[in-house]
Structure 1
Amino acid sequence: MQGNPSKMNAQSFDELLAKLDDARGRRMPWTQIASMINEIEKTPAGKQYSANKEHFWEMLAQKSGYTRNALQRMRSTLIRGNAIADREKTKLQEILGQRALAPNALFDVLGHFHTAELFARIYSADPDAALNLLTQMRDERVPVVRIKEILSEVTNRKHSSSSKPTFLMPKDVLHREQALALIDEHKSLLYGGDDVSIYFNRYEFEFVSIDAVGIRCGDDGALQLVDGFMLMTSSPGKHKPAFQNLLSDIDYRSSFFRHVWLCRNSSFRWPSEEINAAIDALDIHQVGIIEFDEEGGEMKIVRRPKGDTRPSRYSLTLREIMRQGIPDFGMV
C-alpha cells in the first residue's frame, strides 16, 4: 500500500529541517548547511514557507542557531562558489589536478566559510588574482589577514579605474572627501547615535550606484538598516532635462535603500528648496537632504525622510551587502 504523497513530502521537509537542528552547536560544515537550505526550499512545504521570506529565514535561524544574516551569506557564497567552479572548470583542473573533479573541490581548498566568502569577492573584482590565490592555498596555508589584504588591493584597483559619478567632476574630489568626513563626524544628528557605520567606495551593487552606504547592525550582526548617500558637489547644466535627470536618479536610487540622503554644498545648481518641493510633489518619502558649506566646516539637515517603509528593491540591496560582508562586525 502506497503512502500518502503529501504526507511523504511533509516528512521529507521535516526530515531535512530536523538535520539543521543546532547546526551551529554541532559545528556542521557551512557547505552542508547551505545545501540543506536549498533542498528545504525545493520541497512543496518549503516552497509554501519560503513564500513568506521573513518567516522562512527566521524559522531556519531558530532551528540552526545561526542568524538569518549568516545563513543567507552561506547560501549566497555557495551559489557564487559553484558558479565560479563551473565557469573556471579548465583552470581548476590545471590548479587542482584530479581533485578538481571531486564534488566541492573548490570549497575543500578554501575551507572556512569566511575564506570562501572573501575568495568570491576577490574573484568578482579580479578573477586572475583569485585563481592565483587558490594556487597558493593549494600548497600552503594563507592567513586570513593576507586574503583581506588581497581583497583590499583588487578592490582599490577596480575603484581607481572606474568612472566618476554623474554629478561629480574631478575638481570636486576634495569637496567629496570633506563631505564624507563631515557626514561621519555628524552621523549622530542623522541617526541619534554613533552605531551606524558609513562606508565610501566599499560596496558595489549590480543594479544601482551610490556614493556611500550607511549600515546599522544588531549585536548578532543582523542588518537593521541600509541607507544610501548621494553626493552632489558640482554644478550640472542649467537646462530643465538636467534637473529631470537628477530627480529620476533620486527616485531610482530611493527604491534600493531604506533612506537616501542627498548631500549638497551651497553652490550646487539647484537650491534645496527646489529639490525639496519636487521630492514632495513626486511623493518620494524616504529621501533626506543634507547641506554643507564650501569650507566643509558645517553641516545641517534640510529635510528628514518621512517614512520607514521598505522600498521595493530593498531586499536586493540587503543581499548584496550580506554577500560582500560588513567589516565592523567581522563579517568579511
Structure 2
Amino acid sequence: MTGLSRKSSSAQPKDNLSPGDVDTVLEARDLHVLFSNGVRAVDGVSLQLHRGETLGVVGESGCGKSTLGRTLCMLQVPSSGKVLLNGSTISDMKGRNLRAARKNLQMVFQDPYSSLDPRQRAGQIISEPLLLAGAAKAQRQARTYELLDLVSIGPSGYSRFPREFSGGQRQRIGIARSLAANPKVIICDEPVSALDVSVQAQIVNLLVSLQKKLNLTYVFISHDLAVVRQMASRVAVMYLGRIVEIASADSFFSGPRHPYSAALLSAVPSMSISATRRKPIPLAGDPPSPINLPSGCRFHTRCWLKEKLHSPEICSTVDPMLAGEGNHQAACHFQHSVNAKTGD
C-alpha cells in the first residue's frame, strides 16, 4: 500500500505499566468468550491499552480478533473475565450505566454499508448517538455538520442516503458517527479491508490525522500487516483465541519471536526490489478446530520451527504462556530460536 502516513513515535507506550496505571485507558483481564456451539472464540486474553497509542491486533480469519474487539466494546458479553474502561469494570454494567460508559468507547465496523441504516440519511446516522445522549436538536445538527467537515464529506452529505455514497465515503460516515460523543477509545474492526487499495490509504491517513487532532486511542484489528505497520505503535498476534505475541511495532516487525508471527510476516508482499526479504514460510494445513483444541501449544500441529528442532515433546504436551524480556512477549518454548531458524 502506498501513500500512508507513518505512525508517530509519540504514541509509543510507557514501560512497566501496572494494572490501574493512569495511562491504561482500556484493559482486558483473563477474557473468555465461549459460544453455545463450543467454540472458544476468545480464550484467556489479557491486555492493556495505553492512552494515545494504537494497538494492532492481527491474525488469520477465525482467530478471534473481531470477537475480541466486540467484547472490548461490550457488543459481545464475555463468558468470564473483565473489561475495564478508565479503571471501571464495564463488563458488569447493563442498561443506562453501560450506555453512559460507551460514550468513551466506540466502534468502526468492517463493512461500511451494512453498518449504516439504509433508511436513514447521513445526518441522522451521525447524530443518533447524540440523540441517545439527550442533546438538543440544534446541538445535534451543529455537531453533525462539524463531523462531516472533519471526515471530508462536507455539508452536502447531510441529507443523502448511504447508497448515494462510495464505499470510502460510507466508511467516513461510520467514522464520523463513532466520533459523535467525543470518545477516547475507538475499536476499528477491519476498517479498510472492504475498500479498494487507493481508498484504504485515504482512510488510514484520516484515522492517523484524527488521532493526532483528537488525542484518540485505537484498537486496530486487521489481517493486513502492511496496514498495521503504518498504524500501530504496538502489535498483538492472535491464534485460536489467544494472544501468542505482543510487542512494540518496531520490535515485532524487526524480529518476531513466535513462529506463527514469523510466518505471517514472511507472507507480506514487498514492492521494493532492494528490500531484504524473509524467505516465505509455508504453514501446513488449516488451523485446528476451535472446539477440539490440540494439547500443548495450540500451534504445534502447523509449526515449522518444531520440525526444524526435531519435534521436541514439550511442544505437544506443555501449553506455553506469554513470556519474554521487556515489552516483547511470546507464547513459545523456543522463541529465541525463531529468527535464527528462518533462514535455514
Which structure has more helix as a fraction of its residues? 1
**Which bracket does the TM-score occupy, shorter chain normalised?**
under 0.3
Q: Which has the higher Rg, Structure 1 or Structure 2?
A: 1
> Which structure ranks higher in relative contact order (CA pairs < 8 Å, sequence separation ≥ 6)?
2
Which structure has more strand as a fraction of its residues? 2
Q: What is the TM-score when the length of structure 2 is the normalising length?
A: 0.23
Q: What is the TM-score when the length of structure 1 is the normalising length?
A: 0.23
